[in-house]
A and B are shown apart, each in its own frame.
Chain A
Amino acid sequence: MDQPVLSWGRTCRYTHEVRSLGRLGQTRTALFAGGKSTIFRGYGRSYGDVALNADGGLCQTRNSDNLLEFDQANGCVKAQSGMSIADLNAITIPAGWIVPVSPGTQFVTLGGAVANDVHGKNHHVDGSFGAHIMALKLIRSDGEELICSREKNMEMFNATISGLGLTGYIAWVALQLKPIASSNMQVETIHYSSLEAFFEISDESMDWPYSAAWVDCFSPLNALGRGIFTRARFLGEGELRAPQQTARLSIYRELPSMLLNKYTISAFNWLYMRRNGAQTLDRVAFHKVFYPLDSIAHWNRIYGRAGFFQHQSIIPMATSAPGVSELLRTIKASGQGSFLAVLKRHGPETSPGLNSFPLQGISLALDFPNRGAKTLKLLQALDDIAVAYGGRMYPAKDATMSPETYQSGYPNWTRLEALRDPNINSSFWRRVTQQND
């Protein structure tokens, strides 16, 4: 049935012919019904249009969430692609295993994690999600069913990881989990006063498996990049608990967009910077470290009716210092930005994904309330800076990049296009490859 579907950033609202998979037994006709193209969608946490397919078919996968195998001795798990990271963690953590790589929300499906080859705070040691996939099953619209791994159907395996869901329906994913002795973490927070200091602390923190920094994007120019660095590691012993994380607060409807402006955000940042200085917390539940925003349901509504954009770019290590500096200067000069800005050092990419976002370097992510043309202009400027320094943008976060920006960052896109299922397409893909269908 035709209905509008929104992106997480709430800037894309397109009409789709929406279908949902059931929990048991999907036929190929349910996956690829009708003559229109289809995109598969999980929890819809992509900020832009990678999981949208304007005027086409959209198949919701999250009911297809059965656990197929769980080897507790070795931490190997096989689950249908609609299972969320939250649900998988709830099953495996009591047995001492955790999903090896998780983005900033656990309300994403395994299929989405594969398709976007997501990364987490541990990228510098563990790589992205794709590095931990042992095998996956792909169902193509012509009825072909492929088991793909590093050994079998390798080309399709590599294209599917970071393949934005375009290579076929991902029926299940087999993962190697990460052992943990406790679900609690030791967490250190360190205030730092400049971009140079961020690089120094990042260097010192390489043996901390989880790290990222919150950045004050309205800092004075002489303290550009200042913020709070957080690093964490799992405790060596203790309880193994995956509490059902229920939102303590829900944003019931869109807030007035005037609420978030340069002045309120500067005030927030000023207060935030004045929290306790360097501190060590010895026992923090993992979900409070990994998923702080998951405690507020529908937090994307705080940006008001116009929604928001996210910029996430990554710049290779060699050019990262001047590149990130220029990004931050440009953001500051624009007077736009938000209180959610994150800097993260990434390690060498170990995922086989053909078009994965991460590379060894520094990524910057931040939200911009949608203020129309001036926001689009700023995003374009930031894209250009990232590209000029040899970087690229993250499709899962993007709603605006140009075909040139995308294609320069992902030279392997043509190989993905060649392997794309002819009956799958997305608004994102049409946009960055300039197709008109």
Chain B
Amino acid sequence: MTDTDQAATKTLVVLGATSGIAHAYLRLIATKHPERRIILVARDMDRLDLVRQDIAARRQGDVTTIAAEIGKPSAITSIMSQIVDAVETIDECLLAYGALGEQTALQKDPATLEALLNTNFVSACLWLEALAAQFESQASGHAVVIGSVAGDRGRQSNYMYGATKAGLERLCEGMAHRFASARDIHVTCIKPGLVDTAMTAHLQPSGLLWAKPERVASDIYRAVRRKRVRIYTPGFWRLILLIVRTLPVPIFHKTRL
């Protein structure tokens, strides 16, 4: 059951471990690679502890948790050093936190907008540069970042969220380019479509476009093993977004997407 792939990473750090996708991914790792060292970082201690309990029971081993303000730019340096103190090397880091935001509130309230930008983009940039430095010193490491199909084209319904995810994707892309010649350093951007998690519970998930977090988790697992730079999950979103991106502006502007 445990595969003996040489590249199978040893230490997994999850930033935003209480997110639905991260939790599903952790369950998969707990089954497939129970030998891995796992460090979970999230803001809410109670929810984090429930994830810890679930993953520890599934893998029959300890899980380290750090409750911290991962989305707060000024806090990142100290959290990063806490993580490095705990594990020395970071073989894989999943960056899974983020907020959906509410478009009309973001348009009206600058403080809300600033908070979203800090959480989804500014802090993520700081995390990724901190990880990049760590990976360079280790000469290895894999950063896995949850982006979104919403980043593919700005739409009136959620362009602020989309812009942060688009920015994140460009960053991943550039960082993957930067490490193209480093054999063991990788960056993967995961672009999920509609996923049935707590983040989207208010949107009444049902219908063919909605995916379960377990499905997304297994796509992430495969993308990490194959060291992909970017994936859509489920895969059909690639086609949908191709269409959305290529719609001519006059037609696009007639839609309410």
Choose from A20, A25, A69, A91 the contact partner of B201 (Cβ within 8 Å): A20
Is B243 engaged at the interface, CB distance under 8 Å to the other chain?
no
- Expressed in whole angstroms, the Cα–Cα distance for A72 and B58 within the complex equals 10
Consensus secondary structure, chain B interface: helix
Q: Is the CB of B53 within 8 A of A66?
A: yes
Is A67 engaged at the interface, CB distance under 8 Å to the other chain?
yes
Q: Is the CB of A24 within 8 A of B23?
A: yes
Q: Is the CB of A72 within 8 A of B54?
A: no
Q: Which of A1-29 contact B (CB under 8 A)?
A: 1, 20, 22-25
Q: Which residues of A contact B201 (CB under 8 A)?
A: 20, 22
Q: Is the CB of A67 within 8 A of B58?
A: yes
- A67 in contact with B198 given A24-B47, A72-B60, A94-B1 (CB within 8 Å): no
- Expressed in whole angstroms, the Cα–Cα distance for A311 and B1 within the complex equals 43
- Expressed in whole angstroms, the Cα–Cα distance for A66 and B51 within the complex equals 8
- Expressed in whole angstroms, the Cα–Cα distance for A94 and B204 within the complex equals 36
Choose from B31, B60, B204 the contact partner of A70 (Cβ within 8 Å): B60
Choose from B1, B60, B198 the contact partner of A24 (Cβ within 8 Å): B198
- Expressed in whole angstroms, the Cα–Cα distance for A392 and B53 within the complex equals 42
Q: Is the CB of B50 within 8 A of A66?
A: yes
> Nearest B residue to A25 by beta-carbon distance?
B47
> Nearest B residue to A83 by beta-carbon distance?
B54
> Nearest B residue to A94 by beta-carbon distance?
B1
Q: Which residues of A contact B23 (CB under 8 A)?
A: 23-24
Q: Is the CB of A25 within 8 A of B57?
A: no
- Expressed in whole angstroms, the Cα–Cα distance for A20 and B200 within the complex equals 12
Contact-size category for B: 10 to 19
Is B192 engaged at the interface, CB distance under 8 Å to the other chain?
no
Is A333 engaged at the interface, CB distance under 8 Å to the other chain?
no
Q: Is the CB of B58 within 8 A of A24?
A: no
Q: Is the CB of B20 within 8 A of A68?
A: no
Chain B 171-201, CB-CB to A under 8 Å as 1, else 0, gives 0000000000000000000000000011001
> Nearest A residue to B20 by beta-carbon distance?
A23
- A70 in contact with B58 given A23-B20, A24-B47 (CB within 8 Å): yes
Q: How far is the CB of A136 from chain B (nearest CB, A)?
A: 17
> Nearest B residue to A65 by beta-carbon distance?
B54
Q: Which residues of B contact A68 (CB under 8 A)?
A: 53-54, 57
- Expressed in whole angstroms, the Cα–Cα distance for A91 and B34 within the complex equals 12
Tell me which of B44, B53, B57, B197 has the highest count of chain A C-beta atoms within 10 A of its own C-beta: B57
Q: Which of B44-77 contact A (CB under 8 A)?
A: 44, 46-47, 50-51, 53-54, 57-58, 60
Q: Is the CB of A24 within 8 A of B57?
A: no
Q: Which residues of B contact A23 (CB under 8 A)?
A: 20, 23, 197-198
Q: How far is the CB of A297 from chain B (nearest CB, A)?
A: 15
- Expressed in whole angstroms, the Cα–Cα distance for A35 and B186 within the complex equals 53
Chain A 64-82, CB-CB to B under 8 Å as 1, else 0, gives 0011111010000000000
> Nearest A residue to B18 by beta-carbon distance?
A24
- Expressed in whole angstroms, the Cα–Cα distance for A24 and B60 within the complex equals 20
- Expressed in whole angstroms, the Cα–Cα distance for A232 and B228 within the complex equals 47
- Expressed in whole angstroms, the Cα–Cα distance for A72 and B60 within the complex equals 8
> Nearest A residue to B17 by beta-carbon distance?
A24
Q: Is the CB of B57 within 8 A of A69?
A: yes
- Expressed in whole angstroms, the Cα–Cα distance for A23 and B200 within the complex equals 13
Q: Is the CB of B50 within 8 A of A25?
A: yes
Q: Which residues of A contact B197 (CB under 8 A)?
A: 23
Q: Which of A52-99 contact B (CB under 8 A)?
A: 66-70, 72, 91, 94
Q: Which of B13-57 contact A (CB under 8 A)?
A: 18, 20, 23, 31, 44, 46-47, 50-51, 53-54, 57
> Nearest A residue to B50 by beta-carbon distance?
A24
Q: Which residues of B contact A25 (CB under 8 A)?
A: 44, 46-47, 50
Q: Is the CB of A67 within 8 A of B54?
A: yes
Q: Which residues of B contact A94 (CB under 8 A)?
A: 1
Q: Which residues of A contact B54 (CB under 8 A)?
A: 66-68
Q: How far is the CB of B190 from chain A (nearest CB, A)?
A: 19
Q: How far is the CB of B216 from chain A (nearest CB, A)?
A: 14
- Expressed in whole angstroms, the Cα–Cα distance for A72 and B44 within the complex equals 30
- A91 in contact with B51 given A20-B201, A23-B20, A24-B198 (CB within 8 Å): no
Q: Which residues of A contact B20 (CB under 8 A)?
A: 23
Q: Which residues of B contact A24 (CB under 8 A)?
A: 18, 23, 47, 50-51, 198
- Expressed in whole angstroms, the Cα–Cα distance for A94 and B53 within the complex equals 20
Q: Is the CB of A22 within 8 A of B198?
A: yes
Q: Which residues of B contact A66 (CB under 8 A)?
A: 50-51, 53-54
Q: Is the CB of A70 within 8 A of B47?
A: no
Q: Which residues of A contact B18 (CB under 8 A)?
A: 24
- Expressed in whole angstroms, the Cα–Cα distance for A25 and B1 within the complex equals 31
Q: Which of A152-183 contact B (CB under 8 A)?
A: none
- Expressed in whole angstroms, the Cα–Cα distance for A68 and B31 within the complex equals 15
Q: Which of A272-294 contact B (CB under 8 A)?
A: none
Q: How far is the CB of B17 from chain A (nearest CB, A)?
A: 10
- Expressed in whole angstroms, the Cα–Cα distance for A72 and B204 within the complex equals 38
- Expressed in whole angstroms, the Cα–Cα distance for A68 and B53 within the complex equals 6
> Nearest A residue to B206 by beta-carbon distance?
A3
> Nearest B residue to A78 by beta-carbon distance?
B57
Q: Which residues of B contact A91 (CB under 8 A)?
A: 31, 58
- Expressed in whole angstroms, the Cα–Cα distance for A413 and B116 within the complex equals 54
> Nearest B residue to A66 by beta-carbon distance?
B54
Q: Is the CB of A70 within 8 A of B57?
A: yes
- Expressed in whole angstroms, the Cα–Cα distance for A22 and B50 within the complex equals 12
Q: Is the CB of A67 within 8 A of B47?
A: no
- Expressed in whole angstroms, the Cα–Cα distance for A70 and B59 within the complex equals 10
> Nearest A residue to B202 by beta-carbon distance?
A1
Q: How far is the CB of A203 from chain B (nearest CB, A)?
A: 42
- Expressed in whole angstroms, the Cα–Cα distance for A83 and B197 within the complex equals 16
**16 pairs, A vs B, C-beta closer than 8 Å:** A1-B204, A20-B201, A22-B201, A23-B20, A23-B198, A24-B23, A24-B51, A24-B198, A25-B47, A25-B50, A66-B50, A66-B54, A67-B53, A68-B53, A91-B31, A94-B1
Beyond the given A69-B57, A70-B57, could you list 7 further A-B residue pairs with CB under 8 A, ordered by the A residue number? Answer: A23-B23, A24-B47, A24-B50, A24-B51, A25-B44, A66-B54, A67-B54
A-B pairs, 9 with minimum CB distance: A66-B54, A24-B47, A67-B57, A22-B198, A70-B57, A25-B47, A67-B54, A24-B50, A68-B53
